[in-house]
Amino acid sequence: MDNIGLFDELNVRTCGEGDLDKVLDLESIVLAKLERPDLLRRNTEEMWRTCLQSPHVCLVAWNGDVLVALAVLYVPKDGDTEALAPLLQSVDPEGHKSANFKICLVHPKWRGHHLQVKLGNLLNNEAHQRGIDLLCATASPHNIASIRSLQQLGYRADHTVQKYGFERTVFFYFN
Ligand SMILES: CC(C)(COP(=O)(O)OP(=O)(O)OC[C@H]1O[C@@H](n2cnc3c(N)ncnc32)[C@H](O)[C@@H]1OP(=O)(O)O)[C@@H](O)C(=O)NCCC(=O)NCCS
């Protein structure tokens, strides 16, 4: 994959387990600068290892050797408790192939350029190629940047639940 439009200085590619340390570093930088602690939960290293392996897709944007943003498409297996589609109240997921737009992290210095929307659009294309027609995501009701980004990607709010110990709105998008 090449750059993403406006940002010639960013290279976007899929990443794998070899990038785990850089991914964990970005997560720590993002968590340290959160506006509120309940916006994002730290993932376990095991979950990151899972996300960095097939069938999941982790897209990363690099500026030189600095990882500035990432976005994960999580493709649940049958019965996977991480699947969000079964939680939907306004959509019957039966007959759809679903996946989660699990996480997006943007380095605080690189915010304000709609990188969640840009990476999200690339993930939508990737999902489409895999026959995934229903995408789900969660966001804290206080996470305005993420909610605006999800809305710009075409996601709609379904309902709000307690998840990961925090309040989370579940969103969906027909891809
Ligand atoms: C959520 C996140 C990925 C978005 O980063 P980004 O793509 O750079 O988003 P932007 O800064 O371009 O903001 C997107 C929109 O939200 C708006 N916005 C951003 N922060 C805002 C705030 N605190 N209050 C109101 N609006 C805000 C921007 O103005 C922009 O609106 P626009 O489209 O009308 O111009 C980034 O903030 C982040 O990494 N947050 C911490 C991790 C996280 O919460 N991830 C999402 C859940 S997994």
Q: Is 29's C-beta closer than 6 angstroms to any atom of ligand 1? A: no
* Cα angle 153-155-159, degrees, rounded to a multiple of 5: 155
161 within some domain: yes
Q: Residue 87: is its pLDDT beyond 80?
A: yes
Look up the domain containing 122 and give its range.
11-174
Query: For 137-159, b where at least 16 C-beta lie within 10 A, e where not — what string?
Result: bbbbeebebbbebbeebebeebe
The region of weakest confidence among 6-10, 40-44, 68-72 is 6-10
pLDDT at 126: 96
pLDDT band at 3 (very low <50, low <70, confident <90, very high): very low
**Residue 159 domain-assigned?**
yes
Query: pLDDT digit string (tens) for 29-61?
Result: 999 999 999 999 999 999 999 999 999 999 999
Atom of ligand 1 lying closest to residue 137 CA: 48
pLDDT computed for residue 106 by the predictor: 98
Look at residue 5 and tell me whether its pLDDT is greater than 60. Answer: no
From 1, 133, 157, select the one nearest 71 (Cα to Cα). 1
Residue 21 in any domain: the answer is yes
Given pLDDT bands bounded at 50, 70 and 90, which one contains residue 23? very high
| 66 close to 103: Cβ distance less than 8 angstroms | no
Quick one: pLDDT at residue 2? 44
Q: What residues are paired with 157 via a beta bridge?
A: 171
Residue 8 has pLDDT above 80, yes or no: no
Residue 51 within a domain: yes
How far apart CA 26 and CA 17 sit, in angstroms, is 15
The residue type of 69 is A
Q: How many domains does the chain have?
A: 1
Q: Residue 111: CB within 6 Å of ligand 1? A: yes
Whether 103 has a pLDDT exceeding 90, the answer reads yes
**Cβ–ligand 1 contact at 106 (below 6 Å):** yes
144-152 vs 115-129: helix axis angle to the nearest 10? 50
In a domain, 6, yes or no: no
Residues near 87 by beta carbon (within 8 Å), at least 6 away in sequence: 136, 158, 161, 170
146 Cβ closer than 6 Å to some ligand 1 atom:
yes
Cis peptide leading into 108, omega within 30 of 0? no
> Which residue's C-alpha comes closest to atom 32 of ligand 1?
148
Looking at residue 138, what is its pLDDT? Answer: 96
Neighbours of 97 (CB within 10 A): 14
Q: Residue 98 belongs to a domain with what CATH number? A: 3.40.630.30
What average pLDDT score do residues 74-98 get?
96
- Tell me which residue has its CA closest to atom 20 in ligand 1: 145
Of the candidates 114, 111, 102, which has an alpha carbon nearest to the alpha carbon of residue 139?
Answer: 102
pLDDT in tens, 116-159: 999 999 999 999 999 999 999 999 999 999 999 999 999 999 99
Confidence of residue 4 (pLDDT cuts 50, 70, 90): low
Expressed in angstroms and rounded, the spacing between residue 79 Cα and the centre of ligand 1 is 32
**Ligand 1 close to Cβ of residue 131 (< 6 A):** no
Task: Please report whether residue 66 resides in a domain.
Answer: yes
- Residue 78 Cα to ligand 1 midpoint, Å, equals 32
Residue given tokens 């350029």 in the structure block: 113
Smallest CA separation from ligand 1 atom 24, residue: 144
Both tokens assigned to 140: 């804290």
